[in-house]
């Protein structure tokens, strides 16, 4: 296919990966980002091997590896600190032929922005809407200008204002019943081992600590709560102390040490299956196409996979509309199944059905990790690389 003129809405990890992949394929790309400056929301992200392999293909895997965390084991303890299970992640890494790398979101963004080239990203300008013709798409910008392109990639996140037009129906975000606080903290063996993803579960809540590189741990707390509870930064520590009263000493230490000014508090949402991921000149990508709960750590990894697959499909030379159909066919079942899997994990972890959650706690006690590893391997094996 001749080089295309492509507009990407959104400079999150999905938009930046797409821009890198499409530029590498020889297309001309302009990214418009609504925010006046790029400041990631949230501390870190775990990039599982299926995502890392895309980053390798985009030429940035080694940079991610250099600054990412080294996670070799995974453990679960109950809320009192009693160890339920601990196992090695080696079987996953061997099968996937790549490790996972938890990484600071700011580092990932820096690496991807450099790969795209800052000159190709326009900050402070959003894509407000579009009109498709048979051979082009005209994108309306927040500046009042209209710009024409061969293709618009809507990588504008979970709140995407472009999604419903592509899907052909209104797509609402759905609250998944719990709140997540996340941040970073200096690593210390009194909090968690530096080579381990450490998790505490109980009372339908969860605490997680994960090495994220640069001598830091990425932590999060999950608590089932009704929608719309007060989000008052000054109260975060007291809130967490109340939710986690009586939990293990490392959890108490974490709450004492964290900096409330530097953490995010997020009500977790997802979207049901989006019925159409493309129209003739527009493709949805990343959270705009498939917002999912973070419970399987795949939202960002799937955005990376989308980016890679889209560039491959456009390389097949059948024309834009056919390439977009091929992209949709390659992605729709994969992402829908992971959205559903992530929602199911959230339900089990957070006590949507108390009997199932109690069974999960019981299964974890003494587990050898094989079931968890099988799930991780299956997710990896379903990826494009
Ligand atoms: C607590 C939490 C933990 C997570 N942990 C993981 C994890 O461990 N592993 C993992 O793989 N995933 C994880 N995820 C999911 C991951 O963060 C998302 O899937 C990923 O950020 C989606 O990237 P994106 O580029 O599609 O969207 P976003 O990152 O939301 O980027 C969209 C961008 O578009 C911009 N924008 C919006 N509207 C417009 C417009 N009209 N025009 C132009 N720009 C616009 C926004 O400002 C934004 O910069 C987690 C999510 C949460 C909430």
Give 292-315 pLDDT, tens digit per residue.
999 999 999 999 999 999 999 999
Q: What is the pLDDT of residue 41?
A: 75
Long-range CB contacts (within 8 A, 24+) of 125-130? 125/32, 125/33, 125/34, 126/9, 126/32, 126/33, 126/34, 126/156, 127/7, 127/9, 127/32, 127/152, 127/154, 127/156, 127/162, 128/161, 129/161, 129/162, 129/165, 130/162, 130/165, 130/281, 130/282
Strand-pair category, 173-186 with 264-271: antiparallel
**Which atom of ligand 1 is closest in space to residue 285's alpha carbon?**
26
Q: Residue 326 domain-assigned? A: yes
Question: Domain count of the chain?
Answer: 1
Q: Residue 187 domain-assigned? A: no
Strand-pair category, 282-284 with 151-154: parallel
Candidate of 210, 294, 338 to mutate for ligand 1, largest count of ligand atoms within 8 Å of Cβ: 294
CB 195 within 8 A of CB 102: no
Candidate of 12, 49, 222 to mutate for ligand 1, largest count of ligand atoms within 8 Å of Cβ: 12
Atom 26, ligand 1: residue with shortest CA distance: 286
Ligand 1: centre distance to CA 14 (Å): 7
The size of the chain, in residues, is 385
383 in contact with ligand 1, CB cutoff 6 A:
no
* pLDDT at residue 1 is higher than 90: no
The full 3-state SS of 338-349, as one line of letters, equals HHHHHHHHHHHH
Q: Residue 252 domain-assigned? A: no
Q: How far apart are the C-alpha atoms of 304 and 210, rounded to whole Å?
A: 21
* Structural element, H or E, at residue 53: helix 49-57
CATH code where residue 19 lies: 3.50.50.60
- Structure token pair of residue 179: 């709140």
* pLDDT at residue 222 is higher than 90: yes
Phi, psi of 76 (to 5 degrees): -125, 135
Within 10 Å of residue 54's Cβ, how many Cβ atoms?
Answer: 27
**Which atom of ligand 1 is closest in space to residue 15's alpha carbon?**
25
Confidence class for position 318, pLDDT limits 50, 70, 90: confident
Q: Considering the chain, what is the average pLDDT of its residues?
A: 97
Q: How far apart are the C-alpha atoms of 215 and 309, rounded to whole Å?
A: 34
Q: Residue 19 domain-assigned? A: yes
**Which atom of ligand 1 is closest in space to residue 268's alpha carbon?**
53
Output b/e per residue, 30-42; b: 16+ Cβ within 10 A: bbbbbeeebebeb
Share of the chain above pLDDT 90, in %: 97
Q: How far apart are the C-alpha atoms of 179 and 227, rounded to whole Å?
A: 9
Q: Residue 345 domain-assigned? A: yes
User: Could you read off the pLDDT of 36-94 as tens digits, one per residue?
Assistant: 999 877 799 999 999 999 999 999 999 999 999 999 999 999 999 999 999 999 999 99
Interacting residues of 266 by C-beta distance below 8 A, sequence separation 6+:
41, 42, 179, 180, 181, 182
Share of the chain above pLDDT 70, in %: 100
287 in contact with ligand 1, CB cutoff 6 A:
yes
Candidate of 126, 157, 306 to mutate for ligand 1, largest count of ligand atoms within 8 Å of Cβ: 157
Q: Residue 220 domain-assigned? A: no
Q: Residue 180 domain-assigned? A: no
Q: How far apart are the C-alpha atoms of 92 and 52, rounded to whole Å?
A: 13
Whole-model pTM: value is 0.97
173 in contact with ligand 1, CB cutoff 6 A:
no
Q: Residue 179 domain-assigned? A: no
* pLDDT at residue 187 is higher than 90: yes
Q: Looking at residues 104-123, what average pLDDT do you find?
A: 97
Q: What is the pLDDT of residue 39?
A: 83
The CA distances from residue 123 to 80, 110, 128, 284, 285, in Å, are: 47, 15, 14, 20, 19
Q: Which domain holds residue 131?
A: 5-173+270-381
Atom 49, ligand 1: residue with shortest CA distance: 12
Starting from the edge strand earliest in sequence, which strands make up the sheet with 127-132, in order? 127-132, 137-141, 146-149
Q: Looking at residues 306-332, what average pLDDT do you find?
A: 95
């Amino acid at each position: 296919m001749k080089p295309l003129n492509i507009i990407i809405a959104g400079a999150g990890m999905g938009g930046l990966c797409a821009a890198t992949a499409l530029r590498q394929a020889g297309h001309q790309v302009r990214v418009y980002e609504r925010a006046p400056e790029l400041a990631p929301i949230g501390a870190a992200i775990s990039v599982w091997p299926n995502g890392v392999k895309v980053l390798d293909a985009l030429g940035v895997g080694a940079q991610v590896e250099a600054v990412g965390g080294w996670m070799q084991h995974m453990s679960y303890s109950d809320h009192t600190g009693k160890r339920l299970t601990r196992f090695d992640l080696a079987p996953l890494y061997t099968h996937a032929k790549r490790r996972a790398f938890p990484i600071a979101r700011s580092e990932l963004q820096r690496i991807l922005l450099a790969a795209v080239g800052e000159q190709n990203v326009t900050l402070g300008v959003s894509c407000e809407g579009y009109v498709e013709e048979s051979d082009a798409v005209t994108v309306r910008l927040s500046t009042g200008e209209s710009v024409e392109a061969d293709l618009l990639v809507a990588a504008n996140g979970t709140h995407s204002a472009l999604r419903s037009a592509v899907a052909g129906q209104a797509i609402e975000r759905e609250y998944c019943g719990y709140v997540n606080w996340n941040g970073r903290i200096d690593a210390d063996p009194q909090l968690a081992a530096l080579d381990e993803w450490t998790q505490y579960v109980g009372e339908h809540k969860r605490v997680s600590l994960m090495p994220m590189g640069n001598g830091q741990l990425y932590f999060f707390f999950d608590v089932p709560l009704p929608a719309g509870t007060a989000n008052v930064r000054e109260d975060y520590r007291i809130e967490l102390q109340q939710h986690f009263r009586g939990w293990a000493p490392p959890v108490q230490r974490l709450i004492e040490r964290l900096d409330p000014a530097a953490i995010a508090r997020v009500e977790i949402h997802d979207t049901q299956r989006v019925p159409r991921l493309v129209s003739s000149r527009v493709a949805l990508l990343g959270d705009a196409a498939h917002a999912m709960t973070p419970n399987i750590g795949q939202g960002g990894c799937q955005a990376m996979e989308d980016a890679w697959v889209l560039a491959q499909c456009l390389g097949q030379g059948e024309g834009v509309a056919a390439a977009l159909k091929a992209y949709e066919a390659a992605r729709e079942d994969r992402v829908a199944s992971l959205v559903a899997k992530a929602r199911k994990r959230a339900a089990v972890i957070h006590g949507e059905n108390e009997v199932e959650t109690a069974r999960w706690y019981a299964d974890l006690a003494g587990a050898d990790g094989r079931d968890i590893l099988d799930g991780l391997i299956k997710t990896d094996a379903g990826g494009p690389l």
